Homo-oligomer: A and B are copies of this chain.
Amino acid sequence: MPLPLAGGPEFDRIRAIVDALGPRASALGSDVALVPIGGDRLAFSTDVSVEGVHFRRDWLSFEEIGWRSTASALSDLAAAAAECVGVLVALTANRREPEETFVSVMRGVDAAVESVGGLVLGGDLSRGEAMSLAVTVVGRSAPGISRRGARAGDGLWVTGALGGARAALAAWNAGRAPDAAARERFARPVPRLPAGRWLADHGATAMMDLSDGLGADAGHLAAASGLALRIELAQLPLHDSARAEAALSGQRPALFAAWGGEDYELLAAMPAEFAGTSELSLTRIGSFTEGTDVTFTLDGRPVTPGGYDHFA
């Protein structure tokens, strides 16, 4: 069975690996592996953050580097409606890096995992050229929700507001300091574990976290359930900084937010009759239907995924 992933070079590599390893590696290509152990269903995921690729030390403090790397891995537990048991961290850094760097990164790791009630279970330090953190998260997942399972007619919902992390990146890339709210969204994303459990408790049929941006991730969610998705971007909950940053570059804010990554909000399929809640920041942005494509509209007119939109 082909892996239910959308296109892209990373996914081609994952497909090649899964083809080579066969069913023994069936957990690859999922955000989390779910393993029944002694009455529990454990959730595992690993995520690597590399300096110069995922973070830069002139943008973030070492504590923030630790927090952000850990939060992005914990976000996979949120999408599995799991609670956090703990994390393990393999930290690689240049041998000339002072001891305080290691301590600060690990303080950030610990703060992120403490925020969701887990422990630092283990670690390894190594020297290497660039700094990198490989964070493995361990969770306990009762309902066993995954990316698959959405049904035609289900609504597509998203937590929080989108585009804040992209706003920070856009400012840094333009040589400006991002505003405080955008910077916070990039530096200290909040892993949505309570929201993940709430959604699962209230009937979610499929769930994933937004790491590559709605424009890319919606395709994975639709493919995993073998369905089409219609998304109306005028409904998108926008982070204030995304509005401001989009305006600066003459882009439409909804497109700026939809094609920005690293928001670490949750995308969930909910039954058609689900009407929202006051307990959680949740917005309905589309519907699952029979078919295979993801269609984005803005005010009812089709828009094409990818890249920037330069008309004002």
Interface residues of A (CB under 8 A from B): 10, 12-14, 16-17, 20-21, 24-25, 27-28, 30, 32-33, 35, 37-40, 42, 44-50, 52-54, 85-86, 88-92, 99, 102-103, 106-107, 110, 114, 119-130, 132, 134, 136, 138, 140
Contacts and interface: CB of A to CB of B under 8 A. Distances in A.
B88 A46 contact: yes
Contacts of A28: 120, 122-123
Contact of A17 (B35, B90, B103, B114): B103
B37 A88 contact: no
Given A20-B103, A48-B126, 11 more contacts: A13-B125, A16-B99, A25-B110, A28-B120, A37-B38, A47-B124, A48-B124, A48-B134, A50-B126, A50-B127, A129-B129
Contacts of A48: 90-92, 124, 126, 128, 134
A53 B13 contact: no
Given A13-B102, A16-B99, A37-B85, A90 B138 contact: no
Report copies per complex.
2
27 contacts: A13-B99, A14-B125, A16-B99, A17-B106, A20-B103, A21-B107, A21-B110, A24-B110, A24-B119, A28-B123, A30-B122, A32-B122, A33-B86, A35-B86, A35-B138, A37-B37, A38-B40, A46-B89, A46-B134, A46-B136, A48-B124, A48-B134, A50-B126, A52-B128, A53-B126, A54-B126, A90-B134
Contacts of A114: 24
A88 to B, nearest CB: 4
Contact of A46 (B10, B47, B122, B132): B122
B37 A140 contact: yes
A125 B46 CA distance: 10
A5 B261 CA distance: 42
Contact of A122 (B12, B27, B85): B27
Contacts of A138: 35, 44, 138
B46 A123 contact: yes
A27 B120 contact: yes
Contacts of A132: 92, 126, 128, 132
A220 B2 CA distance: 48
Q: For A13, A40, A128, which residue has the most chain B Cβ atoms within 10 angstroms? A: A128
